[in-house]
Amino acid sequence: MKKGLRDISNIDHNHFMRIAIKEAEMAGQCGDRPIAAVIVHNNHIIAKGSSKRRTGRSDVHHAENTAIMSCAPYLQEYGRECLIYSTVEPCIMCISTIAFSDIRNVIFAIEDKHMNTYAQIKAVPYLKERIFNYISGICVEETLQVFKRYTIESELNLVLNGC
Ligand SMILES: [Zn+2]
């Protein structure tokens, strides 16, 4: 049984988040939601993804899911040693996909107050046992700049204020 990565204290979270922010900006420029994710293994990026709700014509093409599907066979082998960086807190669908794809470490910038995913993690043993690290607040200001630039006000309020 593979143990999985638990100690992530020596990883440069800001570095990987800034790469995700660049992807989020590109998604925003394409008319998609300005949200992106990168997956990291052994300090290398193995996948990037961004919201493709408009260009992919699917409401489930979220950043995390897009990144995960682009490297799914790799994750079957190494998922437990990986981290996923997302500019916005994963939604309840994506946190499930993250757990099912064996990724144990989740780092994000902005909390999604509407989705309240952390409450789900705490409430569901399957998620609670699998998510080793769940860290928010990385590069918040830089992420907010991009997020606000391409997000309509009603959606912005949902994420930032929960209503
Ligand atoms: Zn999602």
163 residues of the chain, pLDDT tens digit each? 568 999 999 999 999 999 999 999 999 999 999 999 999 999 999 999 999 999 999 999 999 999 999 999 999 999 999 999 999 999 999 999 999 999 999 999 999 999 999 999 999 999 999 999 999 999 999 999 999 999 999 999 999 999 9
Instruction: Give the pLDDT confidence score for residue 1 in this predicted structure.
Output: 54
Separation of CA 87 and ligand 1 centre (Å): 11
Instruction: Give the pLDDT confidence score for residue 3 in this predicted structure.
Output: 85
**8 Å CB contact between 130 and 99:** yes
Separation of CA 160 and ligand 1 centre (Å): 16
Separation of CA 11 and ligand 1 centre (Å): 24
Separation of CA 95 and ligand 1 centre (Å): 7
Instruction: Give the pLDDT confidence score for residue 104 in this predicted structure.
Output: 97
Instruction: Give the pLDDT confidence score for residue 45 in this predicted structure.
Output: 98
